Structure 1
């Protein structure tokens, strides 16, 4: 291959957006010549590299759209520091059977015990397996629902949040919740009930949610939708941050 042909090849690959092949070709040409690899084998190897790269990019875009505040994994979690957690039960969630069964997850514990780490890790795993996922704090969710109500777009916004296969609502109980916000929160959970999975983290035990939502009736209705199909994980260990 002449220099001009070689440069044209690299240019064509770049123009076609085949970035992985573009990076792999220079060294691979020597391998092909040395090992006398057939054209079919060479093209197969190059296209495999490109497809793998495109899959990684697509996954990164999906994870970015899920709006995780950081990236974590279950492998990074120090289960020895939190013996109150059943490690095998948590790792079993990676199979995403709870998503297929429209089951909810509730993580209860004081700040810093690893609730958010675990939910992000499960959310990223859900993205890896093709489930549409979103991470949002409870406060931000309520602000968006209240804003939609005031603008007259509540139904559209509720439907958007209801469409997610996995909706992670972080930090329920860290800020006070008004009665109107509790009503809006209930409407969202009612739309997701037995249609998708909701994961929540909270520092408030469920028996005190009547105080949190400023209405025992609304709290009971919310919990009815949330705990009908649910796995509850209560973390009683020390704070990592402390």
Structure 2
């Protein structure tokens, strides 16, 4: 015969004889076993609040469970942002739109909602150094991670080097699949260095794996017409541009360096 599971009523009857000290110890032990660190941390304060505000049993339980859920969501967000591999912290809220009139604030805030990622659309940020491309790339990536998307940031040259090493070690399919699983792949500094044909072909495989399924966002200091400096094969260059622009969002950040202007202003203001 199989034993019947212990009912809630039976458990409550069994616990009626617990002293307050024993009950506190039982709650602590149960929270550890069930992996409820937030409830374990706040239960004493929650009990005081419940007594003071005369919460019902249901209200008290709801407060505890909601606190646990909220903290789990927070920890998950922190993990996703950390897993993205951003080189520094950047947020859209910190971007100075007044310093670069080429960038439409409404457009960026719309992108920050993440709907383009849900659709699998690409995004291209094109402009000279110091115009805010990397800030926007990281800021939009952070916003996406905070909304629950899996994000990965990498430099173009680092990605290509990783792909070449994976191909040499016969791990290319696994590496491409890993980059294919994230919801948003951010590729920074595309166009700063020339890629040989092999590296360009491997990058093309990553883009093809993600095409119309998962989003790619790139930042480049070269306009599309100048990408032949990076991808020296004309047909391959055209194919990569096509992958990154079809149904995509293209934002031109201009040619006036914010960093250079800020430096000049600081130097001028220094007595």
Q: TM-score, normalised by structure 1?
A: 0.91
Give the CA deviation at 1:175. Answer: 2.6
Residues 1:223 and 2:241 are matched in the alignment: yes
* Partner SS, residue 134 of structure 1: strand
Q: Counterpart of 2:259? A: 240
1:88-107 counterparts in 2 under 5 A?
Answer: 88-107=106-125
Segment drifting more, 137-146 vs 119-128: 119-128
| 3-state DSSP of counterpart to 2:124 | strand
In 2, Cα distance between the equivalents of 1:156 and 1:15?
36
Which runs of at least 4 in structure 1 moved beyond 4 Å after TM superposition? none
Change (3 A) 1:36 1:195: closer
Q: 1:113 is matched with which residue?
A: 131
Residue matched to 1:24: 42
Say if 2:182 and 2:214, in contact at 8 Å, map to a contact too. yes
Shift of 1:25: 1.9
Task: Say which SS state the counterpart of residue 201 (structure 1) adopts.
Answer: strand
Cα distance, 1:53 vs. partner? 0.5
Q: In the alignment, which residue of structure 1 is the partner of 2:167?
A: 149
Q: Match of 1:45?
A: 63
The Cα offsets for residues 115-153 of structure 1, whole Å up to 9 and x where unpaired, read as 111111211222233322211111110011101111122
Matched with 1:163 is 181
Residue 67 (str. 1) matches residue 67 (str. 2): no
**Matched residue SS, 1:46:** helix
Assess if the C-alpha contact under 8 Å between 1:210 and 1:217 holds in 2.
no
21-30 vs 113-122, which deviates more?
Answer: 21-30
Contact 2:121–2:214 (CA<8 Å) still a contact in 1? yes
In the TM superposition, what is the alpha-carbon distance from 1:7 to its structure 2 partner?
Answer: 4.4
Take 1:28 and 1:195, find their aligned partners in 2: how far apart are those partners?
45
Counterpart of 1:87 in structure 2 is 105
Aligned with 1:209 (options 199, 221, 227)? 227
SS in 2 for 1:95: coil
Per mean C-alpha deviation after superposition, the further-off stretch among 50-59 and 15-24 is: 15-24
From 67, 76, 86, the equivalent of 1:58 is: 76
For the 8 Å contact 1:137–1:170, the answer to whether it is kept is yes
> How far off its partner does 1:88 sit?
0.7
- Answer yes or no: is the 8 Å Cα contact 2:137–2:217 preserved in 1: yes
For residues 4-15 of structure 1, what are the structure 2 equivalents within 5 Å? Answer: 4-15=22-33
> Could you say which structure has the larger radius of gyration?
2
More off after superposition, 110-119 vs 51-60: 110-119
Task: Give the CA deviation at 1:217.
Answer: 2.4
Number of residues of Structure 1 aligned to a counterpart in Structure 2:
242
Consecutive unaligned residues in structure 1, runs of 5 or more: none
TM-score, L = length of structure 2: 0.82
Contact 1:189 1:225 in 2 (8 A): yes
**CA–CA distance in structure 1, aligned partners of residues 147 and 206 of structure 2:** 24
Q: Is 1:135 aligned with 2:148?
A: no
User: Using a 3 Å threshold, how does the CA distance of structure 1 residues 28 and 102 change in structure 2: closer, same or farther?
Assistant: closer
